[in-house]
A and B are shown apart, each in its own frame.
Chain A
Amino acid sequence: MEYLASTLTFTGISLIGVLGAYLVTGLTGLFSFGQAAFLAVGAYVSAILFKNFGLPLPVAAVAAMITGLIAGVIVGVPTVRLRRDYISLVTFGFGEAIIAVLNNSTSITGGATGLSGVPQYTTFPLVLVSVLVCLAIVISYKNSKYGRQCLALRSDELAARSMGINVERLKLMTFLMASVMTSFAGVLFVFYTTYVEPGAFGWVVSAEWTIIVFVGGINSLTGAVVATVLLTGLPEFLRFASEWRIAIYCIIVLLILNFRPSGMFGQYEISLRSIKQLFGKGA
C-alpha cells in the first residue's frame, strides 16, 4: 500500500512537470531542456529556506516559486525574440549552469553529495490536490484566448503576428507559467524525498518530459496525462529490465514520430461531450 502511494505520488509530481512541458511544447511549440533545472530551483530554494533559515513552509514554497519566476525571466527575455532553436540551446545551458552552481556552492547546497535531512511534509492527498489545481489551470489556459493564440503562433508565427498577436509576450508568459509550475513541483518533490542531489535534474529528465508530451500527442492534454501515467507509473510496477526502459521509450517515440506524428491521442480531449458521443456511437 505504501509502495502504491509512493509510486502515485512520484507520478503526480512528474505529471506537474509534464504539464509544464506541455505548456511550453504543446502550446507554443518551444523546447525546453531546462525544465528539470526549474524543478531543482524549486526544491533547493524551498529546502534551504526552510532548513537553514527557519521560514515556515508556505513562505518557503512561495519564495521558491518566485525564484523560479525570476530564473524564467532571465532565461526567457533574451530568447523569446529569437528562433525556436535558441530557447532549447539556452535552456540546455541554463540546466548545466544550475547543476554547476549546485555542485560548487557546497557550503549551502551540500554540493555533489546532496542536501539531506529535509522533513517529509508532502502527502499523497496534497499531491493529488496540486495536480488537480495545476490541471485546472492548464485546461483553462488552453481554452482561453491566450491558449488559442498560442496554438496560432505554434503553427505559423508570422501569420499569428500579422493577426495582431504579441508573439514575444505570449511566449514569455507561457514559459514563465511553466517555470513557476515546475518550481512548485520541485517543492513537492523535496518535501517528499527528504533528499536532493544535483545529478537528479539533468537535461535527460527535461527531454523525457517533452517526449512524454509527444507520445500523448502534442495537441492533446488528455494524451499528456495518460502518457505520463503509462510511462512513469507503469514501469515502477513492472520493474523488469529497468535499464531498457529509456531505450523502449525512445523506440516508441521514433515509431510514433514516423508512423503517427499526431501522437496517441491526436486532437482528442476527454470531456463530457466526447464521452456522450462515444456512447452515442456505440448504441
Chain B
Amino acid sequence: MTIQLLINGISLGSVYALIAVGFALVFNILKFSNFAHGGLMTVTAYIGYVASLFLRNYISDLPLFVATLVAAALGGGVLGLILERVAFRRLRDSNSSVIYYFISSITMGILMENFITIFASSNFYSYPPFLPSAALHFANLSVAIPDLLMLCFSAGALGILLFVLYRTKIGLAIRTTSFDVNTARLMGMDPNAVVATTFFAAGVLGGISGVFLGINYTLYPQLGQLIVKGFVASVIGGLGSISGALIGAVLLGVVEIFLIGLVGAGWAPVFIFVIMLVFLLLRPRGISGVVVQEKA
C-alpha cells in the first residue's frame, strides 16, 4: 500500500517537476517569479486538444499522444517567445525594476486565461482517450499505464533539458547570462537571444505539462492555476535552482498523495500550505540552499 502510494506520488511529482523547472528556468535568468507560466500552460493544453482533434482522423493511440505532446510543446515554445517579446523585452531595455516584470507576468497570465474563457467558453473538455486505461501489475502493485507514460515523458523531457543546460554551448550561454548579464555581453553573447531561448525552453516544458494536466484534470480555463504546485515545489527546493525544483516537485507529489490518502483531497491544500510555511520558517533557502539576491 505504501509503495503503491509512493509510485503514484512520484508519477504526480514528475508532472509538478515539469512545471517547477519551467518556472525555475525563467526565474534563474531574469530573477523574478513568472506568473505567466500558468496562463501559458492553459493555452498549450487547449492547443494540444485542438491538435488531437485534427490528428485523430489519421493516427491513434501512442502516435496520437506523442503528436499531441509535440504540437503542444511547439505551441508553448512559440508562445514563450511571443510572451518574452510582448511582456518583457521593453522592460529589459529600459532596465525596469523587478516589480514591473512581476506585474507584467501576472497580467499576461490573466490575459491568456481570459482569452481561453472568451474563445473556448468555460466549459470542460476532455482529451480523446488515446492512452489505454489498463494498468500493469507487479506482485500486488498496480501502475496505471497513463501515469507510467507521463513519468517516462516527463523524465525524458527533463533529461533533454538538463543535457542542453549542462553539456551544450547554448546551455552554457544560459547559465552565464543567469549569472551575470553584463559579463555575458562582454563575452560576445547576445542577451536577447539567450533570454528568448530560455523562454522557448520554458514554453516547451510548459506545453508538455499543460497536456499532462489536461489529461489528469480535464480542460478548463483555470487549469493553469495549478502552477501554484510548481511554486510550492520551487520554494521547497530553493527558488531558481533547477535540481532543487526537481527534488521539491517529487517530494511535493509524494507528500500530496499521502495527504490525500490521510485527510482527503479537499484538505490537502491547507496542509501543503502549512508545510510550506514551516519550511520557510526553518529553512528559507530551500533544500538546495542557494541564496538568490534581489536583482539591483
Evaluate contact between A104 and B104: CB separation under 8 angstroms: no
Tell whether A258 is near chain B: CB-to-CB under 8 Å: yes
> What residues of chain B lie closer than 8 Å to A82, measured between beta carbons?
280, 284
With A103-B266, A243-B117 as known contacts, state yes or no: A93 contacts B104, CB within 8 Å. no
Tell whether B273 is near chain A: CB-to-CB under 8 Å: yes
Q: Which one, B10-18, B73-81, B107-115, B140-148, is touching chain A?
A: B107-115
Chain B, residue nearest A79 (CB): B280
CA distance A177 to B266 in the complex (A): 31
Evaluate contact between B91 and A89: CB separation under 8 angstroms: no
B225-251 residues at the A interface, CB under 8 angstroms: 225, 228, 231-232, 234-235, 239
Chain A, residue nearest B281 (CB): A78
Tell whether A175 is near chain B: CB-to-CB under 8 Å: no
Chain B, residue nearest A214 (CB): B103
Tell whether A57 is near chain B: CB-to-CB under 8 Å: no
Evaluate contact between A244 and B118: CB separation under 8 angstroms: yes
Evaluate contact between B103 and A100: CB separation under 8 angstroms: no
With A100-B266, A104-B266, A246-B110 as known contacts, state yes or no: A90 contacts B33, CB within 8 Å. no
With A82-B280, A85-B33, A261-B96 as known contacts, state yes or no: A207 contacts B273, CB within 8 Å. no
CA distance A101 to B272 in the complex (A): 12
Tell whether B82 is near chain A: CB-to-CB under 8 Å: no
Chain B CB within 10 Å, residue with most, of A96, A157, A244, A251: A96
Chain B, residue nearest A97 (CB): B273
Chain B, residue nearest A253 (CB): B107
Chain B CB within 10 Å, residue with most, of A29, A74, A247, A258: A258
Nearest Cβ on chain B to A244's Cβ, whole angstroms: 7
CA distance A204 to B228 in the complex (A): 13
Evaluate contact between A253 and B103: CB separation under 8 angstroms: yes
Interface size bucket, A side?
Answer: 35 or more
CA distance A257 to B106 in the complex (A): 12
Evaluate contact between B231 and A211: CB separation under 8 angstroms: no
With A90-B276, A96-B228, A157-B294 as known contacts, state yes or no: A254 contacts B110, CB within 8 Å. no
Tell whether A130 is near chain B: CB-to-CB under 8 Å: no
Evaluate contact between A85 and B32: CB separation under 8 angstroms: yes
Chain B, residue nearest A99 (CB): B269
Evaluate contact between A254 and B108: CB separation under 8 angstroms: yes
Tell whether B94 is near chain A: CB-to-CB under 8 Å: yes
Nearest Cβ on chain A to B113's Cβ, whole angstroms: 8
With A31-B102, A97-B270, A243-B117 as known contacts, state yes or no: A250 contacts B96, CB within 8 Å. no
CA distance A247 to B109 in the complex (A): 11
> What residues of chain B lie closer than 8 Å to A75, measured between beta carbons?
277
CA distance A85 to B280 in the complex (A): 12
With A93-B228, A96-B228, A257-B103 as known contacts, state yes or no: A207 contacts B110, CB within 8 Å. yes
Evaluate contact between A89 and B231: CB separation under 8 angstroms: yes
Nearest Cβ on chain B to A198's Cβ, whole angstroms: 11
Chain A 237-273, CB-CB to B under 8 Å as 1, else 0, gives 0000001101100110110011001000000000000
Chain A CB within 10 Å, residue with most, of B33, B96, B118, B264: B33
CA distance A31 to B225 in the complex (A): 17
Evaluate contact between A90 and B277: CB separation under 8 angstroms: yes
Evaluate contact between B269 and A100: CB separation under 8 angstroms: yes
> What residues of chain A lie closer than 8 Å to B266, measured between beta carbons?
100, 103-104
> What residues of chain B lie closer than 8 Å to A281, measured between beta carbons?
none
CA distance A59 to B281 in the complex (A): 33
Evaluate contact between B277 and A78: CB separation under 8 angstroms: yes
Tell whether A88 is near chain B: CB-to-CB under 8 Å: yes
With A31-B99, A92-B228, A100-B269 as known contacts, state yes or no: A254 contacts B104, CB within 8 Å. yes
Nearest Cβ on chain B to A172's Cβ, whole angstroms: 14
Tell whether A145 is near chain B: CB-to-CB under 8 Å: no
> What residues of chain A lie closer than 8 Å to B108, measured between beta carbons?
250, 254
Chain B, residue nearest A83 (CB): B294
Where the two chains meet, the residues of A that have a C-beta atom closer than 8 Å to any C-beta of B are 25, 29, 31, 74-75, 78-79, 81-86, 88-90, 92-94, 96-97, 100-101, 103-104, 157, 203-204, 207, 210-211, 214, 218, 243-244, 246-247, 250-251, 253-254, 257-258, 261
Name 11 interchain pairs, CB-CB below 8 A, sorted by A.
A79-B280, A81-B284, A83-B294, A84-B99, A90-B277, A96-B273, A243-B114, A250-B111, A251-B111, A254-B108, A258-B90
Kindly list the 4 A-B residue pairs having the minimum CB-CB distance in the complex, ordered from nearest: A250-B111, A97-B273, A104-B266, A100-B269
Given A253-B103, A258-B91, 5 other A-B contacts at CB below 8 A? A88-B33, A96-B269, A97-B269, A100-B270, A104-B267
